[in-house]
């Protein structure tokens, strides 16, 4: 195995992803955990937006959002998603495709409590993806929620996590003359063993 191949080495793709993310935290200027999340609506029209990945578990990738937002509705309806992590500082990226389930139990409660008070109140105040008349209207809603919920608001029932259990993970590293290195981990079902394939650039 070459020195370049060493960054792809291992028997656990989640461990490799965590290692790459940890390296990116040392070099990426802003939001090394930012992912471009792709969903599809009921007609099959795709959507993509940036969100922050909050955890790489033993078998899934987790982020949090408003379940009533456009992405929340699309994720719930389709049960599928894809995303890419790209780090310009490392010239690497991770692509993931998988099946989606909600994380709306104690783990979501704990993460919600870890956020700043203003962010917790903002989650209550924002009707994410819905039309908004003005920023003043949003701030008025934040003030209203602050009076109602106080300094220790519980997690909103419409806000929580999504867990993406991948059926495919691709690790990519930039190469000279566009001769990139690509390794795809794939499986037919979540319970299956991974198959690792080196891909042409």
Residue 151: active-site member: no
pLDDT of residue 2: 57
3-state secondary structure of 41: coil
Catalytic residue among 113, 155, 178, 198: 178
pLDDT of residue 110: 96
pLDDT of residue 175: 83
90: its two tokens: 């490392």
Distance CA 84, CA 36 (A): 5
| Residue 152 DSSP symbol | S
Residues of the chain with pLDDT below 50 are 1
| Residue 2 DSSP symbol | -
| DSSP string over 118-139 | HHHHHHHH--TTS--S-HHHHH
CB 13 within 8 A of CB 165: no
**pTM, two decimal places:** 0.92
The per-residue pLDDT for range 141-155, each reduced to its tens digit, is 999 999 999 989 999
Burial status of residue 160 (CB atoms within 10 A of its CB: 0-12, 13-18, 19 or more) = buried
Unique residue bearing structure tokens 């700043």: 116
């Amino acid at each position: 195995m070459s020195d370049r191949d060493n960054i792809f080495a291992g028997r656990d793709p989640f461990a490799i992803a965590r290692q790459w993310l940890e390296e990116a935290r040392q070099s990426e200027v802003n939001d090394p955990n930012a992912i471009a999340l792709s969903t599809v609506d009921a007609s099959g029209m795709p959507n993509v937006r940036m969100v922050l990945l909050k955890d790489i578990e033993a078998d899934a990738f987790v982020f949090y959002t408003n379940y009533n937002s456009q992405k929340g509705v699309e994720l719930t309806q389709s049960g599928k998603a894809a995303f890419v992590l790209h780090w310009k500082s490392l010239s690497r990226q991770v692509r993931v495709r998988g099946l989606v389930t909600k994380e709306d139990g104690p783990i979501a409660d704990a993460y919600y409590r870890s956020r700043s008070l203003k962010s917790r109140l903002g989650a209550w105040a924002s009707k994410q993806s819905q039309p908004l008349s003005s920023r003043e209207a949003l701030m008025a809603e934040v003030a209203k929620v602050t009076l109602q919920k106080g300094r220790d608001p519980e997690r909103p029932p419409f806000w929580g996590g999504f867990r993406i259990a991948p059926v495919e993970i691709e690790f990519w590293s930039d190469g000279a003359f566009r001769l990139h290195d690509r390794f795809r981990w794939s499986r037919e079902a979540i319970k299956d063993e991974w198959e690792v394939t080196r891909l042409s650039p």
